[in-house]
Chains A and B, each alone.
Chain A
């Protein structure tokens, strides 16, 4: 009963087209995304002295383009209190411009003493991400804790610059 043509059809059997493709992992810099948000939290949850509450709220990023891009693209035009946020990528830290926050990347670790010197007497919150940064004058230093990004504090460094760290910022800091 089965004809030869039918048999040939059967022989083609199970030539299904089912196949899967490969996905690609996203190349977003996840650490920069998290750190950018932390920087925004530090900007909006801490208290700067009254004379720093005029004009724009400025954050300088010294040595991490990826973080600068994240911060600028996601938070660049957002308000901090009554001020407008301005993000600047710094090629160098000079004393002719005042920043509310300067982030010093680990790639600029060796320039930390110079940065501290340039901001002397100014209400600038120094935020860093390298071991031993608090001892060099940083007020907030990012740390890896169980693969998470957290931060440690040097409250005295903030107090000396007349910056009041917010309750939530104090609450989530890890013990040194």
Chain B
């Protein structure tokens, strides 16, 4: 029903534009008539239209130009991430909005902006999937584009979930680079932690971000400890221990927070057990180890994906002291 009313409203609007605007925006109307059969011809017409004094003052001329450039971005450029036509489309829609204080074209403008925002989001997603040391700036660049456009038609509050998802995914991408070489790529795990913390600034109770920050800190300490060997002097060992204890200490509050949110998750209990073990806190490590065993025995854990995705460096726990 709602769709039907919207369709009728759009049809009515088109009729009004056709009837009354032909006098004021003749080139724009001509471009509209042409765009479905000759998009390049429509582009040339609409470019000329907004250069005329009369049509450049009309918000519908700018909306039309924005729409046509958006279609060029979509159909001709095949949504190419480097297309400048997308930027032109946004500029035109912004111009339309500025010339349309009562929002006659607001709904149509929003649809164009929504499409473009979505394209930026998709490019952000792709840049994160292909994240490497060679394109490390791309995700943020595309996300900045998404955010700017999204906020033209939505609020900061509506952006929040997207922002959290972006920071967490980017953190993950950095953590993956770190894991490719945990000794040469240390800078990436610190950046990963920074992005998780940005996600937590948006929502301090985000389970995944808390858990992953804790894990990132903890694993960084373990990776440092793996460097010790016969060549390590006792002086170095003392310094390395201090450094690792600091990382384990940093991990603890995040794991506690994650556990507080999801006490039914096995991984947080296990996390607390091994962090307390690393911190030589016997009372706490035994408490969490017993909890882990009890809940496992009683089948109280909520299963999650991690159980099917064991870490490749997982080792059987044979610790006795």
Contacts and interface: CB of A to CB of B under 8 A. Distances in A.
B212 to A, nearest CB: 5
Contact of B234 (A4, A41, A67): A41
A22 B306 contact: yes
B175 to A, nearest CB: 6
A24 interface: yes
Contacts, number: 189
Contacts of B118: 10, 12-16
B320 A105 contact: yes
Given A1-B14, A14-B117, A25-B271, A147 B281 contact: yes
Given A9-B115, A25-B270, A32 B169 contact: no
A45 B233 CA distance: 10
Contacts of B318: 29, 65-66, 69
Contacts of B214: 25
B249 interface: yes
B299 interface: no
Contact of B278 (A21, A31, A129): A31
A175 interface: no
Interface in B199-223: 208, 211-212, 214-216, 218-219, 221-223
Given A27-B317, A28-B315, A34-B225, 18 more contacts: A1-B64, A13-B114, A18-B169, A19-B168, A19-B169, A22-B215, A24-B310, A25-B214, A25-B218, A25-B222, A29-B317, A30-B222, A31-B278, A31-B280, A63-B321, A74-B229, A147-B249, A168-B235
A22 B125 contact: no
Contact of B237 (A32, A41, A67): A41
A10 B111 contact: yes
Interface string B233-245: 1110110011011
A37 B32 contact: no
Contacts of A78: 230
Contacts of A146: 245
B190 to A, nearest CB: 15
A37 B237 contact: yes
B166 A18 contact: yes
Contacts of B321: 31, 63-64, 67, 105-107, 129
Interface of B: 7, 10, 14, 32, 64, 67, 108, 111-112, 114-115, 117-118, 121-122, 124-125, 128-129, 162, 165-166, 168-169, 171-172, 175, 208, 211-212, 214-216, 218-219, 221-223, 225-226, 228-230, 232-235, 237-238, 241-242, 244-245, 248-249, 267, 270-271, 274-275, 277-281, 304-306, 309-311, 313-315, 317-321
Given A16-B122, A20-B172, A7 B229 contact: no
Nearest to A41: B234
A23 B219 contact: yes
A176 interface: no
Contacts of A144: 280
Given A28-B226, A37-B228, A147-B281, A64 B320 contact: yes
Given A1-B14, A147-B245, A28 B222 contact: yes
Interface in A1-60: 1-2, 4, 6-7, 9-10, 12-34, 37-38, 40-41, 44-45
Per DSSP, chain B at the interface is helix
A130 to B, nearest CB: 8
B285 to A, nearest CB: 10
Q: Chain A, interface size: which category?
A: 35 or more
B229 A65 contact: no
B163 to A, nearest CB: 11
A23 B122 contact: no
11 contacts: A1-B108, A9-B115, A14-B117, A16-B118, A25-B215, A30-B222, A30-B244, A30-B278, A146-B245, A147-B280, A168-B233
A37 B14 contact: no
Nearest to B209: A20
B283 to A, nearest CB: 12
